[in-house]
Amino acid sequence: MILSCQNISKSFNEKSILNDVSFHIEDHDKAAIVGINGAGKTTLLRIITGEMTADTGIVTLAKGKSFGYLAQNQNVNSENTIYDELLSVKADVIALEKQLRETEIAMKTADEEALNQLMESYTRLNHAFELANGYAYKSELTGVLKGLGFAEDEFDKPISTLSGGQKTRVALSKLLLLKPDLIILDEPTNHLDLNSITWLENYLLNYKGAVLIVSHDRYFLDRIANKVIEIDQTKATSFTGNYSDYAVKKEQLRIAALNAYMNQQQEIRHQEAVIEKLKSFNREKSIKRAESREKMLNKIEVLEKPTAARTDIHMVLTPKCTSGNDVLHIEGLSKSFGSLSLFHDIDMDIKRGEHVAIIGDNGTGKTTILKIINGILEADSGIITLGTNVHIGYYDQEHHVLHPEKTLFEEISDDYPSLTNTEIRNTLAAFLFTGDDVFKQIRDLSGGERGRVSLAKLMLSESNFLILDEPTNHLDIMSKEILEDALNAYEGTVLYVSHDRYFINRTATRILDLTGHKLIGYLGNYDYYLEKKESLEQAFLTKDASIVKTEQTPSVQKLDWQAKKEQQAKQRKKENDLKKCENEITSLEEKSRLLDEQMALPENATNVSKLQELTKEKTDIEGKLTALYDIWEELSLS
């Protein structure tokens, strides 16, 4: 075991953030800490690393073990270049190399006795140099920099000229080169493009030490984690497996707890009904029996109702009208900034109902394409044509659609003057803005809060063509899943830019990869893109149009359409089955209520035969209800 956390508790202003949190990390674990925004994940990391003191509890790092910590935002202050900054990590290796060279020079002029001593020293130094990977440290350094997205012509850039995201990547590079026994990372993928994230995944998977990660990147956690530590309502629970394993087990535990709660509530209601009936008989024996049952009922430890899954943000996207089949046509689109050419002569057609994701490396021009479509930037050349009855709803990662000087309430009311005060407050409450929060100014909000306001406006827009730029940035996992469900249920058309592979997998029907200044299309989700990327990209770059054309043939589109129709049919059947089940439950509950009334009638209470008959009928109905509750729950959760 490399790390142990025992009974960690932390409060701020009397509000408990962590309460009695305990878990441990083994020497080669790849562990993830998950939880909603504000759950205390970063606080826990800061306590583990000693940046913050716990109110109670003990953090123990195994004797002789080292750790390295990457916080979310790194302000690397240095006058070094990027390359020199990383060389500073290898100071010990460089010192050994210098000693070796000095020893080699001394050996050339030494007498026999001194030569023997120098040779012994050289052997010892060389062994240490080899153990420190001295002969490959420069290539290792270059490999890490390139893996994390730095081009060779950037190596000589001064640290002081870098953006916040670039500084974070430099800090991550230094941490990986240090190779501590335990790597602790807080949102390491925030400033990485898809290629860099894939490289980091492979690096961490092969890392000999332990890794502890806080991340909202579910695809990343699926590939890396073998243990998940969930922080929920100040408590910690450990699960073995990756994120998907955790999600399944978490839901199983929630359903089991819900079943236990529902069964207990049903038994309590049943006992209360029996007690009431016994009392209604108004006989000494029946009253005593009722009192006895009341005492037993009062001794029951009532289970707490489990929190419903994903109840933080409530989002429904509904188009106001249906667009034509041709939603967007782009032909020969080009854009450059000075001597930097982003893309040229790109074509794109989007049909009604498609969910299209644009992916590609940072700086290739993905966001620029969205801005050109929305009229925020002008293209150098090309034609953009919107289809009939197309109404765009735009989610901008820089939130230009928001007005910094306005309050949240004004932001909604000014754009949607027909909404009542109550409707505006309810909309904002659905995105976690309650009470006096609605009077905060946009300029005072965090990035995540601005994102939630933009999503609220998007929900109200009733647009039939959504254009989204990194919509999952700053959202926690639970909120991402709510947005995914909303988009999957959306009957309009979606075009978005994202680096969230899990999100792309769940919501995209087609992917456009912006690479080599061109767009390459893939009919499928992210896993399908990975499967076809190498062959299709090679065919595209070598102008082998036959393979590219095969990828976009009408027959494949037809199969996609058929699959979508089958999914819609399944959804309709589920909704019909659910309604039928609810009607049966209502009918049986009414019959059960009428039976209770009949059993309570004096003429039946004294008629043993009749009472037995009613009781049997009541028992049969209760059995059917129990089965129907299970069916209803399964249908409603599927």
Q: What is the pLDDT of residues 346-374, one digit of tens each?
A: 999 999 999 999 998 888 899 999 999 99
State residue 330 phi and psi, 5-degree precision: -125, 135
How far is residue 70 from each of residues 41, 67, 189, 205, 616, measured CA to CA in Å? 14, 10, 11, 18, 66
**What is the layout of strands, in order, in the sheet containing 210-214?**
67-70, 182-186, 210-214, 30-34, 227-232, 235-240
Residue ranges of the chain whose pLDDT lies below 50 = 544-560, 637
pLDDT at 634: 64
Q: Which CATH class is domain 326-557?
A: alpha beta
Looking at 3.40.50.300, 3.20.20.60, 2.40.37.10, 3.40.1360.10, the CATH number of the domain 1-76+162-241 comes to 3.40.50.300
Token pair belonging to 486: 């909303």
How far lies 54's CA from each of 6, 12, 19, in Å?
A: 11, 11, 10
326-337 and 210-214 beta bridge pairing: unpaired
Q: For residue 305, give the 3-state DSSP assignment.
A: coil
DSSP letter (8 states) at residue 279: H
Q: According to the model, what pLDDT value does residue 614 have?
A: 82
Complete edge-to-edge strand list for the sheet that includes strand 56-61: 15-25, 3-12, 56-61
| Distance of alpha carbon 424 from alpha carbon 313, whole angstroms | 15
What's the pTM? 0.69
- Can you give the pLDDT at residue 336? 92
Closest CA to 46 of 186, 174, 204, 188: 186
N-terminal to C-terminal alpha carbon distance within the chain: 39
Whether 453 and 313 have beta carbons less than 8 Å apart is answered as no
Q: Return the bridge partners of 211, or none.
A: 30, 183
Which of helix, strand or coil describes residue 132?
A: coil
In 352-415 the beta strands, taken as DSSP E runs, fall at 355-359, 381-386, 392-395
Q: Which residues contact 104 (CB under 8 A, 6 or more apart)?
A: 122
What are phi and psi for residue 304, nearest 5 degrees?
-80, 140
| Helical spans, DSSP H, in 321-416 | 366-373, 408-415
DSSP state letters, 235-269: EEEEEES-HHHHHHHHHHHHHHHHHHHHHHHHHHH
Q: What is the CA radius of gyration of the chain?
A: 32
Contacts of 154 (CB under 8 A, 6+ apart): 82
**pLDDT score of 183:** 96
What is the C-alpha separation between 141 and 159, in angstroms, rounded? 16
The CA-atom distances, in angstroms, between 214 and each of 31, 218, 240, 258, 267 are: 9, 11, 16, 28, 42
For 185-220, b/e burial (b = at least 16 CB within 10 A) is bbbbbbbbbbebbbbbbebbeeeebbbbbbbbbbbb
* Chain centroid to CA 545: 37
Q: Give the DSSP H/E element, type plus range, for residue 581.
A: helix 554-600
Q: ∠ CA 117-118-123 to the nearest 5 degrees?
A: 100
Q: Which residues pair with 497 in a beta bridge?
A: 358, 469
Within this chain, domains 1-76+162-241 and 326-557 share the same CATH topology:
yes
Give domain limits for the chain. 1-76+162-241, 255-309, 326-557, 558-638
